[in-house]
Amino acid sequence: MIMTCRGICERHRAEKNRYADNTKRCTSCNVYLSYDGIKCPCCSTQLRSKRKSKFHNIQ
Per-residue pLDDT of the chain (59 residues; tens, 9 = 90+): 567 778 887 888 888 767 778 889 998 888 899 888 999 988 888 999 888 776 655 55
> What HEC string does the chain produce?
CCCCCCCHHHHHECCCCCCHHHCEEECCCCEEECCCCCECCCCCCECECCCCCCHHHCC
- Amino acid 59: pLDDT: 55
Model confidence, pTM? 0.73
